[in-house]
Amino acid sequence: MTRIPNPGFGTFRLEGDVLKNAVKSALAAGYRHIDTAQMYGNETEVGEAIRESGIPRDEIFLTTKVWHDRLRPGDLEASVDESLDRLGTESVDLLLIHWPSPDGEVQMDDYLNALAAVQDAGKAKHIGISNFTRAQVDQAIDILGEGALLTNQIEVHPFLQNRALVEHCQSRGLEVTAYMPLAVGKVMKDATLERIAQAHDANPAQIALAWIKARGLVTIPSSTKAEHIRSNLAAFEIALSDDEMAQIAELDRGERIADPDFAPEWD
């Protein structure tokens, strides 16, 4: 059982009224976890959409992230205050380090201790990391201690199953939040997922999401269409057979989509 509402609604690349309508559609459909980040440039609209939705703030699990150019102690705390101001809230439910500091420019113990200080100040209920490798996960836990970090948010979809990192995080007590679960739409064109979807009167996107849930992962699919937002939520009612899970396991081809030049050396 995850401690993070699952699924969440992702907001990467969404902005303006399109974003606000999508967030309100997600909340109306029953999502209670909204994921944003400083880098997305949409925290203000996310906050407005939450307020306009009529759903009480304390019923929503809200995540944001600190970008890698704001990791220096002092600057990290200032950036969090800016995020809270844009979101129009006194605290977030989950605050993540979006990427480890490129080339270790800022020492991990410096920015993780600053992150913990933000939590101690009541500005984040939970803290976590994103895009950390196995070695970086171990280093982070060594710094803050067992149980301090809630999740590592990483790219996971049928074509990048990231099994070694997923299993390592789970063995260390971290939940895994899977981003880009639909591989930016590529799952819709896969013959195996299409065949499994037909057997469940579903679509390939729903099968990809059901597969992620079956692995015990949280995920944050994104869409601008109310129909797809509802469909993604309904995917969590689909139970895949062991044979279907094995078929999907064969789709892993190490196809990484999020791989910027400042990324760590991946596992």
Q: Which residue has the tokens 């809270």?
A: 84
Q: How far is CA 52 from each of CA 29, 86, 134, rounded to the nearest angstrom? A: 15, 15, 40
Say what the pLDDT of residue 99 is: 98
d(CA 59, CA 40): 23
**Mean predicted confidence (pLDDT) in 42-55:** 98
**pLDDT tens string 3-32:** 999 999 999 999 999 999 999 999 999 999
Residue 40 designated active-site: yes
Show the tokens assigned to 64: 């944001």
d(CA 238, CA 214): 9
d(CA 67, CA 151): 17
- DSSP secondary-structure letter at 148? S
- Does the pLDDT value for residue 192 go beyond 90? yes
Show the tokens assigned to 252: 């892993």
**pLDDT tens string 124-183:** 999 999 999 999 999 999 999 999 999 999 999 999 999 999 999 999 999 999 999 999
Say what the pLDDT of residue 1 is: 54
Question: Of all helices (H) and strands (E), which one includes residue 152?
Answer: strand 149-155
Say what the pLDDT of residue 225 is: 97
pLDDT averaged over every residue in the chain: 97
d(CA 66, CA 76): 7
**pLDDT tens string 240-263:** 999 999 999 999 999 999 999 999
- Give the start-to-end residue ranges of the domains of the chain: 9-249
* Vertex 12 angle, CA 33 and 94, to 5°: 40
The annotated binding site for substrate is made up of 98
* Cis preceding-peptide flag for 5 (omega within 30 of 0): no
Phi, psi of 95 (to 5 degrees): -120, 125
d(CA 53, CA 55): 5
CB 45 within 8 A of CB 258: no
Report pTM: 0.97
Span 9-249: which CATH code? 3.20.20.100
**Mean predicted confidence (pLDDT) in 79-101:** 98
**pLDDT tens string 218-240:** 999 999 999 999 999 999 999 99
| Rg, Å, the chain Cα set | 18
